[in-house]
Chain A
């Protein structure tokens, strides 16, 4: 995937922008439009708590001051309705997400052993003692944790780009306007995504078993398939071996230097053969879900916009690059973010298929945290792992937001509102202009 640049001024994901007359699809929206009020509405946090004018999406900030005076009553009722509307979600998420997080934080800093309540008097604050064996003290806990980080990093590195590209590709293919059998293909690709991960894992256990489907297919073309879920060899090691390097005696520079309890040689192993089977499963499964998200976004692009571009003689690639992709940006952001968040939490497949094996090469932080707590009764350490994982995921999300931040967004949104307003007041051209 090429990195999506801020495209033309078409408002990403904003309806009114889409409703803009097709004829102006190429023209930038009139720069003569005054941009005064834009500055006080940021792209995302348009309606900050304190801001009286709020309403980044409301009736337009331009008239904010005036409407506040005349619509005070409505505003008050809206506030009440707003809180009422979010309250069910707030209660459930608060009680079963936020409160538990606080408890988990405490457990990770305490010596709670799983007996009784973690808030009872016998449980003491131990500071970073649960974190030390994972991060700084060399030993089994550290090497296990670092191994799980390595495994998951390779997993993310393969799964996120593959599933995003596959999903976008599938969406573009299926979205073809004159395509016959559209529904059939969409169904076929999305179907695995609605299926239980446990069920799919069972199927893949069979497909990749040593005498299974994949190896039988490989045998037909004369390839001796590996014993997938029993093969701990890293694929980068295998590739280096194929290039002639003696992998049994790796270069001393790599073998003798250890970072975090793992030798550099171990760090560069790549995903193990067993992990590649898990990666194949996950990409195959999740692409359908993300395809639907892209598809929904593609279908929100009005025909008029595409047709206008087509009539203007733009090529398909140009149309994709300058018309479609910019409009898909919010979805792309959503897909990448959900992908990054999801892949760092991989648990079900590991739980069902490998339990971290072979040779700990499919051990992930999520599974390690479960294993430490529920199986080895190392509750503090399990929670500590979970918290480090939490930090990793938050960092990924922030990075993602930063990278995809669109400087033009504020301006675009304002233009969008103007266009919508103009259309509403009847002074602007209407959608049916073509």
Chain B
């Protein structure tokens, strides 16, 4: 078991001493709670440090000179503060890559959230011939390694005249099986009773999906939004095979080529880290915007009403 479970065990041990029924119900006065919490916080903070420190290093290093980056990798403050890395990126193709990534990610995210939830709802709730087979197909498709598809995806795109174009980069990503799976799982966890009430009132299937079920599926939709945006922003292999023009490079394919030695001599970590830093910012913004929407127990009140 992982060390994270220690607090829980400690809590159990502390609890056994307390047999009084009224006190047991009152969490705040439970003895041993303090120790459990201290342990919990220690673990949380230690792991948080492990997760934040690399980004701070990245931030600091992108303002360093090459020599400074190599000789003082740990320092969180540049000895000679310079924005040279950023101006070099601005003069290169970087802004173009950035714009391409934004366009692709926006279309792909909108498409996935809508299409995946539609399909997920149908597979979870609507009774129609072939549903079981379709769900089996979705599961099977999830298991298909994307790399199997690199060569033939290129062929299909070529055949359709979509190779080396935005449509070729976007359309194949508009739906994904994992998203459908996640949505189906979630819809199944929502009580049917609410929908049945709407159905008795004579609402159409799409209306039930749109105005009754989707609002209840908010947590899953937000998760799917984040996953879709992250997925399309992360996507590398597809952009290796669906385009060849340098002006269609996204950030991923562009920065990957940057890392594999387009820069010439030396490690040049500041400019590489600056490129990576800038491509992180939009995802970070979207992420922070969506974060607060995480709602506890989306279904908790549904059957009560």
Interface residue ranges, A against B (CB under 8 Å): 1-2, 13-16, 18-19, 45-51, 54-55, 57-59, 74-75, 77-83, 85-86, 88-90, 92-93, 95-101, 103-104, 107, 117-118, 165-166, 168-170, 172-174, 176, 178-179, 183-207, 209, 211-213, 216-217, 284, 289, 292-293, 295-296, 299-303, 310-311, 313, 315-318, 320, 330, 334, 338, 341, 344-345, 347-348, 351-352, 355, 366, 369-370, 373-374, 379, 382-383, 386-387, 389-390, 393-394, 397, 420, 423-424, 430-432
Contact = CB atoms under 8 A, between A and B. Distances in A.
Contacts of B47: 170, 189
Interface string B262-298: 0000010100110111011001101110011011111
Contacts of B286: 194
A178 B27 contact: yes
17 contacts: A15-B189, A15-B191, A47-B127, A88-B175, A89-B115, A92-B171, A97-B177, A195-B283, A196-B255, A300-B189, A318-B12, A348-B234, A366-B145, A369-B147, A374-B151, A431-B304, A432-B304
Given A189-B47, A194-B287, A101 B27 contact: no
Q: Give chain B's interface secondary structure class.
A: helix
Interface residues of B, number: 140
B223 to A, nearest CB: 6
Given A13-B188, A187-B288, A300-B299, A316 B133 contact: no
Contacts of A424: 193, 196, 303
B268 to A, nearest CB: 11
Q: Give chain A's interface secondary structure class.
A: helix
B283 A57 contact: no
B79 interface: no
Contact of A82 (B61, B115, B128, B139): B128
B126 interface: yes
Contacts of A48: 132
Contacts of A201: 259
Contacts, number: 395
Contacts of A317: 8-9, 12
B236 A390 contact: no
Interface of B: 1-5, 7-9, 11-12, 15-16, 24-25, 27, 37, 40, 43-44, 47-48, 50-52, 54-55, 57-58, 61, 69-71, 73-74, 111, 115-116, 118-119, 121-136, 138-153, 155-156, 159, 171-172, 174-175, 177-178, 180-182, 185, 188-193, 196, 199, 205-206, 209, 219-220, 223, 226-227, 229-230, 233-234, 236-237, 240-241, 251-252, 255-256, 259-260, 267, 269, 272-273, 275-277, 279-280, 283-284, 286-288, 291-292, 294-300, 302-304
Contact of A54 (B9, B50, B131, B233): B131
A194 B226 contact: yes
B177 A93 contact: yes
A82 B299 contact: no
A55 B195 CA distance: 14
Contact of A93 (B127, B141, B150): B141
Contacts of A187: 287-288, 291
A390 B147 CA distance: 9
A244 B192 CA distance: 64
Closest 3 CB pairs of A and B: A169-B4, A82-B128, A85-B122
B256 A89 contact: no
Contacts of B279: 196, 198-199
A79 B236 CA distance: 38
Contacts of B191: 15-16, 19, 420
Given A88-B119, A173-B43, A296-B223, A191 B51 contact: yes
B44 to A, nearest CB: 5
Contact of A49 (B48, B130, B220): B130
A77 B16 CA distance: 58
A81 B204 CA distance: 9
B284 to A, nearest CB: 7
Contact of B219 (A216, A296, A382, A386): A296
Contacts of A198: 234, 236, 251-252, 255-256, 259, 276, 279
Given A88-B118, A198-B279, A355-B260, A59 B149 contact: no
Nearest to A174: B44
A104 B129 contact: no
Contacts of B71: 211
A15 B299 contact: yes
Contacts of A318: 12
Contacts of A423: 193, 303
B2 A58 contact: no
B47 to A, nearest CB: 7
Contacts of B132: 45-49, 51
A116 B153 CA distance: 15
A212 B2 contact: no
A366 B44 CA distance: 35
